[in-house]
Chain A
Amino acid sequence: MSWAWLLVLLVTYPWLLLADMLSDSLASWGVVIFITGAVLVVPCRRLKLWQSVLVAGCLGFLFEARRPIPDGVMAFWMMAAAIFFSTRREWLRNFPLLLRAAVACNVLGCLVWYFAAAWALPYRGTITWSNVLPELTLQVFTAAFAGLIFLLPVSYVQELIMDRAGVPVAKDVV
């Protein structure tokens, strides 16, 4: 079904909103709950390559739309990740592998937006590694943890909608 990618995107968005609400409640801690990378791996397991690239692009643009990140950085990184996973589906064969891919994708995505946002900053005079490194570490661990926690419920909903939409399981995953 050619519209399956849109359905997957629509059922994924409430989870992104939930992550935004968690970020809102943790605003005084300065931590962003980032799950955009983790929600990409399940669609890559079943959707066609072009469909998963579309989902990835939309997820990336959704993340960077309200944040001071250079245009397209997250979206193109997500598209590259979607191509990578969609052409190596044997890496997503079972749940532990899926979990590993989700954590890796989320952490790398987190690094991408973190450095892209730093690059886009108008005044960079006061940035030093000594004050960035602890925060970066915290952000990366939060991204890994969020990927672990969110993968199960998000993958359940995504698999459900793909079952309903009649998207077959890819041969190299079985």
Chain B
Amino acid sequence: MERNRQGAKAAYVLLTIVMVLWVLSPSVVRRFNREAFTEFQAPALHLVGKGRDLARYWELKSRNTEDLVAASRDLARVNAALELKLAMMQDLRDENKRLREIARYTPPNTFYTVVARVGLRETSSWWHRINVRKGLDDGVRPGCPVIFGDRVVGRVTVVHKNSAEVDLITSPAFRCTAFLEGDDQGRMVVVDGRAANSLTPPAARVWNIPYDYSIPAGTVPKVMTTGLGGIYPAHLVLGTLEANLRNAQDGNFKEGVLRPGRDLFSLQEVTILVPTKPSRAEDLLSGRYDELQ
């Protein structure tokens, strides 16, 4: 037993030395280590996702033919209506393009979409995250916005080879600017996730609301992206603002609670918007600062 105690002392000393070396090591070492352990888990996480898809497939397969015929008939009608809309949109797009050429207007950043299946979800006081089954190989980059329909789901924070981690809008690490529906002056507010809000429906915080803003009677105002930060396109819905606004601590502004537009923890599939051109920040990180100058 005495030998054990001496061995323990030596082991603790060695562990301390390793810890110091770890802290002093370049960040690339730590990043490589994290990436290696994530990739070790990736096949298992993919398997879990595929298993869930298979369960869904068999569930759908068990439906009777008449249901499927009715569903495909409805879909055909929706498709016909959408085709008509698309043709109208083409006219608008052409006109828009012509006007931009006349005005020599620089178009905002455009995105291409990557549809990704949701793997695992996990929430705690400090993070609300989903793991999606698309990654670097599909062109996903850190910072890409993640949406479902016209609703914002979150933002890609970490990208691995074939998967990515998405911070949801209710996550404490999330923050973006927004406009409030019904504010005619178009003043900007800030949305960020709330720490430690489990056991209650997920919510975010809306702050910097102008003191003279009041919610239009009988409406539930939407909170929409501004498109100013360069990350999210404008007019995407972040959620709705709850009616009970309260005064902020500084007394000059109000703050309220944002309820996300969708149940973020029941999503099966999301769309990642990947900018076609790298953002200014990405340019800076990739060493193209001189070109920008």
Alpha-carbon distance between A139 and B123 when the two chains are bound, in angstroms: 11
Given known contacts A80-B12, A118-B126, A135-B125, is B196 in contact with A65 (CB within 8 Å)? no
Nearest A residue to B173 via CB reads A122
CB–CB B265/A87 < 8 A: no
- Candidates A23, A136, A138; contact of B122 at CB < 8 Å: A23
Q: Is A172 within 8 A of B22, CB to CB? A: no
Flag whether A24 is at the interface (Cβ < 8 A): yes
Q: Is the CB of B205 within 8 A of A68?
A: no
CB distance B120 to A139 under 8 Å?
Answer: no
With a cutoff of 8 Å between Cβ atoms, the chain B residues found around residue A49 in the complex are: 7, 11
A79 to B173, CA, bound (A): 29
Interface residue? A76 (CB, 8 A) = yes
The answer to whether A67 and B195 touch across the interface, beta carbons within 8 angstroms, is no
Mask, B1-41, CB within 8 Å of A = 1, is 10011011001100100110011000000100110011011
User: Does B22 lie within 8 Å of A117, measured CB to CB?
Assistant: no
State the total of A-B contacts with C-beta under 8 angstroms. 146
Nearest CB in chain A: distance from B219 CB, A: 27
Q: How far is the CB of B19 from chain A (nearest CB, A)?
A: 5
A29 proximity list for chain B (CB < 8 A): 123, 198-199
Q: Is the CB of B198 within 8 A of A138?
A: yes
**Are B4 and A172 closer than 8 Å at their CB atoms?**
yes
Q: Are B22 and A72 in contact (CB under 8 A)?
A: yes
> A3-21, CB under 8 A of B: which get 1 and which 0?
0000000000110010011
Known: A30-B199, A138-B198. A65 touches B41 (CB 8 A): yes
Point out the residue from B12, B40, B165 that lies within 8 Å of A83, measured CB to CB.
B12
- Tell me if B127 counts as interface (CB < 8 A to partner A): yes
Interchain CB contact under 8 A, A68 and B126: yes
Query: Across the two chains, which residue of chain B brings its CB closest to A63?
Result: B37
**B127 touches which of A68, A83, A87, A88 (Cβ 8 Å):** A68
Residues of chain A whose beta carbon lies under 8 Å from any beta carbon of chain B: 13-14, 17, 20-21, 23-24, 27-32, 49, 53, 58, 61-62, 64-68, 71-72, 76, 79-80, 83-84, 87-90, 114, 117-118, 120-124, 126-127, 131-132, 134-136, 138-139, 172
The 20 listed contacts between A and B (C-beta, < 8 Å) are A21-B48, A23-B120, A23-B121, A27-B121, A28-B263, A30-B197, A32-B124, A61-B33, A62-B37, A65-B40, A67-B127, A71-B30, A72-B19, A80-B12, A80-B15, A121-B195, A126-B194, A126-B195, A135-B196, A172-B4
